[in-house]
């Protein structure tokens, strides 16, 4: 065999290997949720890779594909039946502004949100019972309250005052302990309480804790949470609420797809302190199931 014959055979061999390799590379097909490899148009290997398995391993700022429904109970109380309890001017308006902000810009469908104006004790309890029945473990639940709040220093108990509360009787005072019980009963993945009332910070009274926020939104969403933000700690707050004004302003101005409640609070905390005598607070509601996650607002 001459040298030229050997060179010709070598070239033919390399050309054959190149054609085989090209055929293998061009015949891979990715379809749907599975990746299948075809060789010469016949199924040879099924790698059986389910791409959805990795949906929770997305980068910072992303959420699972189906984060659950968003429910909310919004309460604003201006008028009180008992003449010994001072009527307020702004809570119902504030509740309506908050309702408008979350239903128009965020993932709260109006049919999943209840707005109670001048709610009685029975109406608050009935609404909480309703949400306890329908909210699932994959869902998100928000409670907003604007109205009178009272701290009983002797009993060390905080209360909301429904519209039918009586100054001389606690029969229709809504206790913090009752609210805690509902937060345990309502098995949402994330619950956020926003309270714009006097002594609202008493919900933290068992043990205070501020959130150590993470930038990875998907990690915050992955862990259950029970958080609260309040307009004051253990003080009276004015009827004209800087807390509500700056919070709604930040919600409306926000352009981030995903906004944690910790990020929301940080964005207006200083503005509230600089424009009122109140010191707003954000933290964990103790002993009701928080595991370090956070409530995530999602733009529509």
Q: How many helices, marked H, and strands, marked E, lie in the chain? A: 7, 14
**pTM for the structure as a whole:** 0.72
Q: How far apart are CA 197 and CA 144, in angstroms?
A: 10
pLDDT category of residue 9 using cuts at 50, 70 and 90: low
Looking at per-residue pLDDT, the higher value among 97 and 177 belongs to 97
DSSP 106-157: BS--GGGEEEEES--HHHHHHHHHHHHHH--TT-EEEEEEEE-EEEETTTTE
* Residues in the chain, overall count: 300
Whether residue 173 has pLDDT greater than 70: yes
Whether residue 41 has pLDDT greater than 60: no
Q: How far apart are CA 79 and CA 165, in angstroms?
A: 11
Sign of CA dihedral 73, 78, 79, 83: positive
Closest CA to 192 of 93, 110, 250, 263: 263
Specify the pLDDT at position 61.
Answer: 47
Specify the pLDDT at position 288.
Answer: 87
pLDDT category of residue 281 using cuts at 50, 70 and 90: confident
């Amino acid at each position: 065999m001459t040298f030229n014959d050997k060179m010709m055979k070598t070239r033919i061999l390399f050309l054959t290997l190149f054609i085989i390799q090209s055929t293998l590379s061009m015949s891979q097909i990715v379809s749907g949720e599975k990746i299948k490899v075809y060789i010469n148009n016949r199924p040879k290997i099924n790698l059986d890779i389910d791409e959805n398995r990795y949906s929770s391993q997305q980068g910072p700022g992303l959420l699972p594909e189906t984060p659950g429904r968003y429910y909310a109970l919004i309460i604003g109380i201006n008028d009180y039946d008992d003449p010994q309890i001072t009527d307020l001017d702004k809570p119902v308006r504030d509740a309506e502004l908050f309702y408008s902000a979350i239903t128009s810009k965020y993932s709260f469908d109006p049919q999943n949100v209840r707005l109670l104006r001048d709610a009685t004790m029975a109406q608050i309890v009935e609404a909480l019972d309703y949400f306890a029945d329908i909210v699932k473990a994959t869902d998100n639940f928000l409670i907003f309250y604007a109205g009178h709040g009272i701290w009983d220093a002797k009993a060390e108990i905080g209360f909301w005052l429904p519209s039918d509360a009586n100054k001389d009787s606690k029969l229709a005072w809504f206790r913090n302990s009752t609210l805690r019980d509902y937060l345990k009963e309502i098995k949402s993945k994330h619950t956020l309480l926003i309270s714009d009332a006097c002594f609202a910070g008493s919900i933290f009274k068992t043990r205070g804790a501020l959130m150590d926020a993470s930038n990875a939104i998907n990690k915050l969403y992955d862990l259950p949470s029970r958080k609260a933000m309040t307009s004051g700690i253990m003080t009276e707050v004015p009827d004209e609420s800087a807390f509500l004004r700056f919070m709604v302003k930040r919600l409306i101005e926000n352009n981030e797809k995903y906004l944690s409640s910790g990020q929301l609070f940080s964005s207006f905390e200083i503005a509230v302190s600089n424009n009122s005598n109140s010191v707003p607070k954000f933290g964990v509601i103790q002993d009701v199931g928080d595991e370090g996650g956070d409530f995530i607002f999602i733009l529509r």
